[in-house]
């Protein structure tokens, strides 16, 4: 009879990741890039341990956790911890192209798919057909050209970004029980996996995990978070990453009925909440980059990033509008892709008009000495 003896360093649980069927000329390039990034994060102790690789996948550390709820993003302790995690990512030096062209390449690819495939057919009902008609009337290439010119006027540092920091990609670590029998979990990687998954367990199973600490809960009682899913990771302007996270406060993907999400723009962070997040982010980013004991950000630094966020919020709406069009009638996940595309487009157009009328940011109060 085989003995059940395991060394103290032998993992009790592992995640076996299998690369499933992929399509497209650059599909394998994406897998290779993701694998290289995962390996680098593992070597630098910024991600789960890498136990082994093989031609069709890899074996990695399994970390028990649950995704955050949308409402938890606004909890001060959690928000500050997310800011710290984002700063850690942004301070990393990854051997990828440092040119901030991810946003434009991604939009260009999605526009091509939208025009040639998604907007040429019909919807399932009259409502979808009306939405498709409105989307077909938009010259997305022209909108991207305008957006490029507008964002070229914004001074926002280029850093290694997550580009999709929503609640489903932020995990709260659970207690680790060391007396459990070994467990092996299988995950198959498929191309074109959805940006958002609605099964809380699959949020981890579809994940590429990054964490700047060990996989045990913090003894200090602070929330222990893990950021996951680096499908869209690339060098980008930091203003986009922060703005995108703030916008996710207003979208809750737990609606059990069509369109399977709630839009609550009133839940997006106010000026005070933005300031708390940005101060914490800049404090940790300055420490990571400059290794300085005095990493307290100045008021000017906080206001500068606030301006970046205001500008790049427009880009987040156009990007995820295109993402939703591409996934409409293709994804098997129940989600109101056409409705989501339209609501993000309407937000984009509304903010664009504010810019063109020179009213953009005019009514936004800036942080000053008396706020401290």
* Greatest Cα pair distance in the chain: 79
Nearest of 317, 270, 307, 309 to residue 74 by alpha carbon? 270
Strand 50-54 and strand 262-263: pairing?
unpaired
- Give residue 223's pLDDT: 85
- In the structure, what pLDDT confidence band is assigned to residue 166 with cuts at 50, 70 and 90? very high
Q: Give the model's confidence band at 360: pLDDT under 50 very low, under 70 low, under 90 confident, else very high.
A: low
157 close to 238: Cβ distance less than 8 angstroms: yes
- Which pLDDT tens digit goes with each residue over 49-102? 788 888 788 898 887 889 999 999 999 999 999 999 999 999 999 888 999 999
What domains does the chain contain, in order, with CATH numbers? 13-371 (3.90.1200.10)
Contact criterion met (CB below 8 Å) for 211 and 41:
no
Distance between CA atoms of residues 367 and 372, nearest Å: 8
Q: Tally Cβ neighbours within 10 Å of residue 35.
A: 18
Residue with tokens 């040639």: 116
Residues 96-132: tens digit of each pLDDT = 899 999 999 999 999 999 999 999 989 999 999 999 9
Q: Output the pLDDT for position 291.
A: 75
Confidence of residue 33 (pLDDT cuts 50, 70, 90): confident
pTM of the predicted protein model: 0.84
Say how far apart CA 208 and CA 213 lie, in whole Å. 15
Residue 97: burial class (beta carbons within 10 Å; 0-12, 13-18, 19+): exposed
Mean pLDDT to the nearest integer, 264-277: 97
Average pLDDT, the chain: 83
């Amino acid at each position: 009879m085989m003995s059940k003896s395991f060394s103290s360093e032998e993992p009790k649980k592992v995640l076996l990741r299998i690369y499933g069927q992929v399509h497209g000329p650059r599909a394998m390039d994406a897998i290779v890039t993701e694998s290289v990034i995962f390996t680098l994060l593992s070597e630098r102790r910024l991600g789960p341990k890498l136990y082994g690789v093989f031609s069709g996948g890899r074996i990695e550390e399994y970390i028990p956790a649950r995704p955050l709820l949308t409402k938890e993003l606004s909890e001060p302790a959690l928000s500050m911890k997310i800011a710290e995690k984002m700063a850690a990512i942004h301070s990393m030096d990854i051997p990828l192209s440092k040119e901030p062209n991810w946003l434009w390449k991604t939009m260009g690819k999605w526009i091509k798919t939208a025009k040639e495939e998604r907007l040429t057919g019909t919807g399932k009902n009259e409502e979808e057909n009306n939405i498709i008609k409105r989307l077909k009337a938009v010259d997305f290439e022209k909108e991207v050209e305008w957006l490029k010119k507008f964002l070229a006027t914004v001074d926002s540092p280029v850093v290694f970004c997550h580009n999709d920091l929503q609640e489903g990609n932020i995990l709260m670590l659970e207690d680790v029980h060391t007396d459990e029998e070994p467990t092996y979990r299988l995950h198959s990687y498929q191309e074109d996996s959805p940006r958002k998954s609605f099964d809380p367990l699959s949020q981890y199973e579809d994940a590429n995990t990054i964490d700047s600490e060990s996989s045990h809960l913090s003894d200090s009682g602070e929330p222990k978070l893990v950021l996951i899913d680096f499908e869209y990771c690339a060098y980008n302007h930091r203003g986009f990453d922060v703005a995108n996270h703030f916008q996710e406060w207003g979208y809750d993907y737990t609606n059990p009925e069509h369109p399977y999400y709630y839009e609550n723009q009133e839940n997006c962070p106010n000026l005070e909440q933005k300031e708390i997040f940005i101060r914490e982010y800049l404090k940790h980013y300055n420490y990571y980059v400059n290794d300085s004991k005095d990493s307290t950000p100045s008021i000017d630094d906080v206001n500068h990033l606030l301006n970046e966020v205001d500008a790049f919020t427009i880009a987040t709406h156009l990007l995820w509008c295109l993402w939703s069009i591409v996934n409409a009638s293709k994804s098997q996940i129940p989600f109101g892709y056409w409705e989501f595309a339209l609501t993000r487009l309407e937000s984009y157009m509304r903010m664009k008009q504010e810019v063109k009328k020179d009213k953009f940011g005019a009514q936004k109060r800036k942080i000053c000495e008396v706020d401290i």
